[in-house]
Amino acid sequence: MKKYLPLLLILLWSCQAEVEDTKEQSTPEKPEWAIVIHGGAGNIQQNGFSQERQAEYQQKLEEAIKVGSVILENGGTSLEAVEASIHIMENSPLFNAGKGAVFNALGQNEMDASIMDGESGKAGAVAGVRHIKNPISAAIAVMEKSPHVLLIGEGAEEFSANNEVEITDTSWFYTERRWKSYEKMKQDKHGTVGCVALDKQGNIVAGTSTGGMTMKMPGRVGDSPIIGAGTYADNHTCGISATGHGEFFIRNVVAYDVAAIMKYQGKSIQNAATYVIQDKLKSQNASGGIIGLDGQGNIIMEFNTTAMFRAWGSSKQPVASAVFKGD
Ligand code: ASP
């Protein structure tokens, strides 16, 4: 009998673990799936932003979040949801990503994007691409089909073309609004897009796509394609997508910092996000924000600007969108 005692103990322990797992899964507050997106953050003055324009943005944001929500509701993966939601925003001239990408100092569009899978820890990114219609798909191709994490410029474009990612002429990215802001040399800094999703399998994926900053130097790379700065995902902590003044987000390793605070200090995603955005970045005069969610489907949208284009939803919450603080 004595020799079976360890076996019995293991058996008892595993039954107990199973009971606890089921308890966790059936916690009433935890949604089956959740999704959150951003379309950039900035210090926009509400009185200079017409209601029609705000409605136009919110309509697009809601279209994007609905596409991701339907995928998740039907049992699709968070990767599929993130890619589809970001495509809607990349194909719209409203956001600084894909179609609406801003112009650099030479009047060219150079785009960056990244993706990270919170289950496997795999990641993919592209930077400085000029002919890829949906840079988020190129980032996914790098993650899934290459042994690397980050490809830049022509190498990234050639790789994408060989992996069925749509290539387009640079004229696709011409929008009058961005050209005007380039011509006026305005510092139209914000408008990046991002998405973080939790699927029914409990997997978190985060993705970000951007045209960078207006008038940036050719070859400049921001935080958006840098894993840990603009994008991060780990099923054990959270998924994060950032938007804002990229140089500060790189120096502060923002997306990973939120995850690290959760992991090493045991803080909630909201506490970690508030600290990084409102204390740490604000004290450096760094503007921007983040969206994210944890493994329990808790969503955060934290920004230190007047506005962040954002939308969210889950199996327990109908989709909604907002622009200004307090909306
Ligand atoms: N973070 C982006 C960059 O620095 C820009 C933005 O989010 O608006 O490239």
- The 10s digit of each residue's pLDDT in 189-242 is 468 999 999 999 999 999 999 999 989 999 999 999 999 999 999 999 999 999
Q: Which helix (H) or strand (E) holds 255?
A: helix 254-265
Whose C-alpha lies nearest to ligand 1, atom 9? 212
Cα gap 17→308, rounded to integer Å: 42
Share the mean pLDDT of the chain: 91
Ligand 1 and 289: CB distance under 6 A? no
Higher pLDDT, 7 or 105: 105
Q: Percentage of the chain with pLDDT > 90?
A: 81
For ligand 1, the distance from its centroid to the CA atom of residue 83, given in whole angstroms, is 19
Catalytic residue chosen out of the listed positions 77, 175, 192, 305: 192
Note the pTM of the prediction, 2 decimals: 0.88
Residues 6+ apart with CB under 8 A from 205: 77, 78, 79, 81, 82, 115, 116, 117, 118, 196, 197, 199, 233, 239
**Cα torsion 28, 30, 33, 38: sign:** positive
For ligand 1, the distance from its centroid to the CA atom of residue 202, given in whole angstroms, is 29
Class of domain 43-324 as given by CATH: alpha beta
For ligand 1, the distance from its centroid to the CA atom of residue 174, given in whole angstroms, is 19
Active site residue 214: no
State the pLDDT at residue 177: 82
Residue written as tokens 């100092």? Answer: 105
The atom of ligand 1 lying closest to the CA of 245 is 4
Please, what's the b/e burial string for 64-92 (b: 16 or more CB within 10 A of its CB; e: otherwise)? bbbbbbebbbeebbbbbbbbbbbbbbbbb
Ligand 1 and 135: CB distance under 6 A? no
Which of 90, 109, 111, 189 for a ligand 1 pocket mutation test, highest count of atoms within 8 Å of Cβ? 189
Residue written as tokens 């989709």? Answer: 319
State the pLDDT at residue 96: 95
Q: Which of 56, 126, 80, 290 is nearest to 194 (CA)?
A: 290
State the pLDDT at residue 179: 80
Torsions phi, psi for 323 (to 5 deg): -120, -60
Ligand 1 and 128: CB distance under 6 A? no
Q: How many other CB atoms sit within 10 Å of the CB of residue 270?
A: 15
State the pLDDT at residue 21: 37
Residues 6+ apart with CB under 8 A from 134: 86, 87, 90, 91, 98, 165, 166, 209
Would you say 118 and 205 are in contact if contact means Cβ atoms under 8 Å apart?
yes
Determine the length of the chain: 327
For ligand 1, the distance from its centroid to the CA atom of residue 77, given in whole angstroms, is 27
Measured torsion, CA atoms of residues 88, 94, 97, 98, in degrees rounded to the nearest 10: 70
pLDDT in tens, 8-47: 555 445 444 443 333 333 445 899 999 999 999 999 988 8
Q: How many other CB atoms sit within 10 Å of the CB of residue 145?
A: 15
Ligand 1 and 224: CB distance under 6 A? yes
Ligand 1 and 241: CB distance under 6 A? no
Whose C-alpha lies nearest to ligand 1, atom 4? 246
Ligand 1 and 190: CB distance under 6 A? yes
Cα gap 187→190, rounded to integer Å: 9
**Cα torsion 256, 257, 263, 268: sign:** negative
pLDDT in tens, 63-91: 999 999 999 999 999 999 999 999 999 99
